[in-house]
Homo-oligomer: A and B are copies of this chain.
Amino acid sequence: MITSWYNISADLPRPLPPPMDPYEGDSRIALLTRILPSDLIDQEFTAERYVPIPEKVQELYERIGRPTPLRRARGLERAIGTKAKIYYKFEGALPGGSHKLNTAVAQVYYASMDGAREVVTETGAGQWGLAVAIASALIGINAKVFMTKNSYMNKKQRVLFMRVFGADVSPSPSDLTEFGKKTLAKDPNHPGSLGVAISEAIEYAVGGEGRKYIPGSVLEFVLLHQTVIGQEAMQQMPEEPDLVVGCVGGGSNFSGLSFPFIGAKLMGKGFERTRFLAVESNAAPKLTRGSYMYDYPDTAGTLPMIRMYTLGHDYVPPPIHAAGLRYHGAAPSLSLLVKDGYVETRSYGQGEVMEAARLFAKSEAILPAPESAHAIRAVIDEAKRMNGGTILFNLSGHGLLDADAYERVLMP
């Protein structure tokens, strides 16, 4: 079992630009320190290379099925006729079907240590909300989830399953907050947005006793928690990979897998020839076509600004199956590594991605989430180019709750 999370900011080639308040208005940093569990604030800014995983969280990791399997994709290798060996870490094996639970159990645990009786969060497609619902059930505190109304109407299974785990789910905008009421007054049929949902979650967290707000990606401590993936993979891999691949929404699953390897490389502890490839969607191409600058991580500008690759916090991505990749920015540490050339980037359109998903399903017997299928697309293209060598990628989620994505591809 892994007993510490790995903090790459200890080994970055240059210091990580810190979160920043805007020149005008209330301090977002002060707000953040009030609504987040205090240990998470410490973790956001720590320079320690290793952060011990609390015993209780280690126990929870074991209960949810960690370590997750590392598998060789022999069927896929055969299907594309490559000499490269392809390995994947299967985070879709976790309850809830995605890597999100790795940080959800940690965050909910720290919230409970702060005496919180309820964690509050927002969710888009619902993967994060489901992970929070599960973590809260395991730890025994309430979960309040603001879900963008459009998803709430269309992703009925995820709403239902959040409720099975005991979470209280509201479509956003809601009449539970002033911001929600104001939004509804302007447009009673507002479809909701992640920005509105974040604003409601934060207002709701601030407005009641015993509530803590917890976020699903982008913040550094989220990436930190996900490094269990890469540390396990390093123990499980029979040889050094030539290429490490993951998809990027806010950056947590890619970073969770790759940071322990990148860190070892930066420290001169092997992996000299390993390349790292972050794969995003054409619908939100911040790494390939965005700017490296200070911007808000949320649409409403409620959180502190962070330095990252971004398309602008008011960027409106087109609807795609891989809703988890519809994010305008990428986490600061990942952005810095891209900026300085340690991580390569690429973006794909969803047609070619879902074809890769189908090929993977048929050859490996696992339905990948549309998000994870972006990584698969890149792996297939790279494997065809490579003459031998070893690839490792993160199968961050399964696609059993993404029937709509498969339906539109198979029966257009």
Contact = CB atoms under 8 A, between A and B. Distances in A.
Interface of A: 63-65, 69, 71, 74-75, 93, 95-97, 101, 134, 137-138, 156-157, 160-161, 163-166, 358, 361-367, 400-401, 403, 406-407, 410
Contacts of A156: 403
A134 B361 CA distance: 8
A160 B367 CA distance: 12
A69 B94 CA distance: 12
* Pairs A-B, 5 closest by C-beta atoms: A95-B365, A137-B362, A157-B403, A400-B400, A134-B365
Contact of A166 (B163, B164, B362, B401): B362
A350 to B, nearest CB: 15
Contacts of A400: 97, 157, 161, 400-401
Contact of A358 (B157, B164, B364): B164
A129 to B, nearest CB: 15
Contact of A160 (B95, B96, B97, B410): B410
A400 B401 CA distance: 7
Given A65-B69, A157-B400, 15 more contacts: A63-B364, A65-B71, A93-B93, A95-B367, A101-B365, A134-B365, A137-B361, A137-B365, A138-B365, A156-B403, A157-B403, A161-B403, A161-B406, A166-B362, A400-B400
10 contacts: A63-B74, A96-B365, A97-B400, A138-B365, A156-B403, A157-B403, A161-B367, A165-B361, A165-B365, A400-B401
A63 B79 CA distance: 15
Contacts of A74: 63
Contacts of A69: 65
Contact of A138 (B75, B137, B138, B401): B75
